[in-house]
Structure 1
Amino acid sequence: MAMVKKSITVTEQQDSWIKIQIETGHYGNESEVVRELIRERQLREQEGAREVQVIRAKLREAEQAGFTRQSSDELLKEIQDGLGRDDV
């Protein structure tokens, strides 16, 4: 993948944190730290979009089905299972 050189400005606190990440061996250089943070944010956004799709599908399904006898806990569990996670 082609790389593009960027110049960024960070606070002193952020700079210290980046340096600690490199000094402790978590990353080899500053660029690796920034690229990893961007990747993590991209993944979070993708997961968020997936969650919205699942919730919308459940809402459409619920509208079509009418009333339910499920408790709110049962509904939440069903949504969590659909997302594959427990922290919704």
Structure 2
Amino acid sequence: MNSFTGVCIDGGIHPFQIIQQNAEGFGRINCLGQWHSQDGSGVVQLRLVHASDSHVVAQSTDWQQAADQQDTSWSHTFEQVPAGGLYRIE
């Protein structure tokens, strides 16, 4: 029996991790985790926001469905993360 209902990030990115940029000035953020709902249905969605004011970082980081979602696990990569920060994943 799962001890939580909702979505948990438990791999990939680490708190306060610095992401390296590519030649175009963008980084990639990989994240993965677990999810659980009472009835077993649902979709994991994520977005990247500024930690200070919760505004979306860029259109490329607004709400996205997890790229890979299994029974109780998921993973996703934000591909076009602009330089800056601090950011928070919701």
TM bucket, shorter chain: under 0.3
The structure with the greater share of residues assigned to strand is 2
Query: TM-score with structure 1 length normalisation?
Result: 0.22
Which is bigger in relative contact order (C-alpha 8 A, separation at least 6)? 2
Higher-Rg structure is: 1
Query: TM-score with structure 2 length normalisation?
Result: 0.22
The structure with the greater share of residues assigned to helix is 1
